Amino acid sequence: MTEGARASVNSEQPITTGRFALTARILVVNILPLLILGGGLFYLDTYRTQLINERFKLARIEAQITAEALAGATRQRQEALLVQIGKEQRMRLRLFDIEGKLTADSFALAEPAFRFNDINDDDWEQRLARWIDRTVDTIVSAEAVQDYVEPEAQEADAWPELARARELGLSQVRLYDWTDGTPVITAAVPVGLQGATVLTVRNAVDITESVRAARSTLFIAMLLVMAASALLSLFLARTIVTPLRLLARAAVRVKQGRDREVEVPRLPQRSDEIGLLARAVSDMTGALRQRIDAVDTFAADVAHEIKNPLASLRSAIDTLPRVDDPDLRAELIQIATHDVRRIDRLVTEIATASRVDAEISRATLERVDLAELFVNLVRSREDRGMNGGRQIILDTAPGSYKVMGVPTQLERVAENLIDNAVSFSPADGVINVSIRRFERCIVTDICDAGPGIAPERREDVFRRFHSDRPEGESFGNHSGLGLAIGRAIAEAHDGTLSAESRPDDAPGACLRLRLPAAS
């Protein structure tokens, strides 16, 4: 990715809309209905349990009051009380003697105060309500309750609660379920001191109706919440899927190469993750196009640069068999040898230029001291006599000049810059290398003593195969790739390489290498 593309992406870092990121909004919208559903189910089960517990207390109190009223009353009075209490409280009351035999039944003495529902006569709404009850009981793992069945023998021992009350002499309350799912609450209490007992039976339909009414309210609320959730989901789908489809279509067109100028939508109005993705894809596409254009241009330049020495080499070889003059033959052989060396140099430099990005992307960055690197490089060149008598003065102030990079690549940049300064400086010229730290950057200036570079041509020197060489230099000794490779390496290290005027206004050019300082 180019420096401009990286800067474009880095400048658009906000990924949230308001206080919540897109991921958080999606999670809230999808989890909220489930939380309401689960909480409502557990609440209604607790609500039903509380109602039944309250009704247990009421049934015990009613049975005890009834037993006190029946104690000591005549047989006729007892029957009248059973009918009256049963009618007023919508219960069935049965009185058993000391031997456990039924002596009075409010349903036999008068019209029954209530009737159990026959599920065969239920409509679809009631069947649906029972199915929902069973489903909820399964979800909340409700404790199983014994079904209410009238015993065939109307004796006290046929009722477990009656048998227990007769045995302990204490009131007993028990819960049953009718076939329609409504609770049946029975209470058995001793009557007086003669061993008689009374049994009350109540079908607490109102509990079931209350719970079902609350469940219906919850169900309506759930429908509203689910509808709102569906609308919000559609909204999110529209805001997410639509731009993703646009990006996908643009990516397919870019892949197919049908439209060279296909525009990848950047979605500038979006400041969330979708907008960041759109701009990243757009920048990536632009960077890929630049890379493809650069490869095409590079290939064309390579073909052009190699074609010239090849043409010269072929001409020399074709002419050589027809020449008898020894001096001319030696000159042709020298031309051919020079062209072969030139082609070899071009191929080597071209291979180097094409591998720069790949090698840096695979390499592990290390802390490199630029001052030490230049000191070692200058000393090595002087030992090998590569400076042609030119003096190189290295100027560094005390401090740290370490950068993060690939040592071999940074050494290649330094070598190319010094080699360029040497080639443009006269034989008695002085080359100044200055290394300074400015804020978070290490800036290295390599200034030669040559003719300098006109301001309008300073970018041209970084073009591949640029061939504006000093006067008197043999043609073909340089490939014209040195500064282009240097800039590529600098940019791969998030730095820059530019041509400037000398800071001291002396004749010559100054190449400035700027790299981020190591933290």
pLDDT along the chain (519 residues), means of 10: 40 43 64 67 75 92 92 90 93 93 93 91 85 80 87 89 91 92 94 90 91 79 76 75 81 69 76 82 78 69 69 82 82 82 73 65 83 90 85 87 90 88 86 90 91 83 65 51 82 89 84 91
Closest CA to 378 of 315, 323, 325, 444: 444
Residue 355: its pLDDT value, please? Answer: 64
State the Cα–Cα distance between residues 257 and 254, nearest whole angstrom: 5
What DSSP line would sit under 356-376, residue for residue? HHHHHHHSPPEEEEHHHHHHH
Is the separation of the CB atoms in 445 and 438 below 8 Å? Answer: no
pLDDT at 457: 82
Q: Which of 170, 188, 216 is the last residue of a domain?
A: 216
Bridge partners for 105 per DSSP:
94
The CATH number linked to 386 is 3.30.565.10
Please state, as a whole number, how many other Cβ atoms lie within 10 Å of the Cβ of residue 454: 10
CA angle 207, 211, 216 (to 5 degrees): 145
- The pLDDT assigned to 144 comes to 86
Query: Residue 118: which domain range?
Result: 23-216
Q: Give the DSSP per-residue string, 386-432.
A: TTTT-EEEEEE-SS--EEEE-HHHHHHHHHHHHHHHHHHS-TT-EEE
Q: Quote the pLDDT of residue 172.
A: 94
Whether 88 is in a domain gets the answer: yes
Q: Is the residue at 12 inside a domain?
A: no
Residue 112 has a pLDDT of: 93
pLDDT of residue 363: 73
- For residue 231, is it within any domain? no
Last residue of some domain: 190, 216, 242? 216
Domain C-terminal end among 184, 216, 248? 216
Q: Considering the domain boundaries, does residue 4 fall inside one?
A: no
Q: What is the pLDDT of residue 357?
A: 61
- Give the CATH number of the domain where residue 30 resides: 3.30.450.20
Does any domain span residue 270? no
> Does residue 201 lie within any of the structural domains?
yes
> 416, exposed or middle or buried, with CB in 10 Å at 0-12, 13-18, 19+?
buried
Domain count, the chain: 2
Q: Residue 364: its pLDDT value, please?
A: 79
What's the whole-model pTM score? 0.46
pLDDT of residue 11: 38
Answer whether residue 147 is part of any domain.
yes
In a domain, 390, yes or no: yes
